[in-house]
Amino acid sequence: LRGYDRALEALRGLVASQGAHASADLCDALVADPSYTAKPEFNIRPEHTAFDAATRIVAIYLPVVRANEPGIVADHDTEFLHHYRIGLRKIRLILGLFDRVYRADRTQDLRARFAALMRATGPLRDLDVAILDRARAYAMLPHTLHPGLDALFAALAQERQAALQKIA
């Protein structure tokens, strides 16, 4: 998985500071919360009302969104923000699809609140995507232009840190 370099180095340092070496058993024991999934399943039955279905889906996705917040703030990996935004997008989609299930003013308010979270996190995600595509940018340009890319990616990294601090 890409983007886990800092987290891996932190783990290796912690393990080494305890006088041990990372083993497969240790790595298996350190797997994140096994109950977390970015793609939860829904148990919606024919007897459920549209209100029940919409509420259930939103209630299932809210913990997914919230579970990613500490990883975003700690800047462990870009995937935390990615999963956060996907969860928000799915909640907004449900609120739009089930347009008349909730009171119109309530739906509009909820959609606006989730849209505000999407807007606030958009610049950070855009910078993450640009930086993750760094290798392709270098591969596309001749080596003589790489110093310019170095400057560009250094500036993007600084801008990303500012955007991360704003989100955190």
Predicted confidence (pLDDT) per residue in 90-108, tens digit: 999 999 998 889 999 999 9
Looking at residue 31, what is its pLDDT?
Answer: 55
C-alpha Rg value of the chain to the nearest Å: 20
**Exposed / middle / buried, residue 121 (Cβ in 10 Å: 0-12, 13-18, 19+):** buried
**Exposed / middle / buried, residue 59 (Cβ in 10 Å: 0-12, 13-18, 19+):** exposed
Looking at residue 33, what is its pLDDT?
Answer: 56
Q: Which residues contact 134 (CB under 8 A, 6 or more apart)?
A: 149, 153
- Residues 93-152 pLDDT 10s: 999 998 889 999 999 999 999 999 999 999 999 999 999 999 999 999 999 999 999 999
DSSP 48: S
C-alpha of 98 from chain center: 25
Looking at residue 166, what is its pLDDT?
Answer: 95
- Residues 31-62 pLDDT 10s: 555 567 888 888 899 999 999 999 999 999 99
CA distance 68 to 40: 14
Output the CA–CA distances (angstroms, integers) from residue 165 to 54, 70, 75, 94, 95, in the order listed: 33, 13, 10, 30, 30
Please determine, for residue 20, whether its predicted confidence score (pLDDT) is greater than 90. Answer: no
Q: Average pLDDT for residues 13-25, to the nearest whole number?
A: 71
Looking at residue 1, what is its pLDDT?
Answer: 46
- Polymer length in residues for the chain: 168
CA distance 59 to 64: 9
pLDDT band of residue 5 (cuts 50, 70, 90) is low
CA distance 123 to 126: 5
- Helices 78-97, 104-132: inter-axial angle, 10-degree rounding: 150
Report the mean per-residue pLDDT for the chain: 88
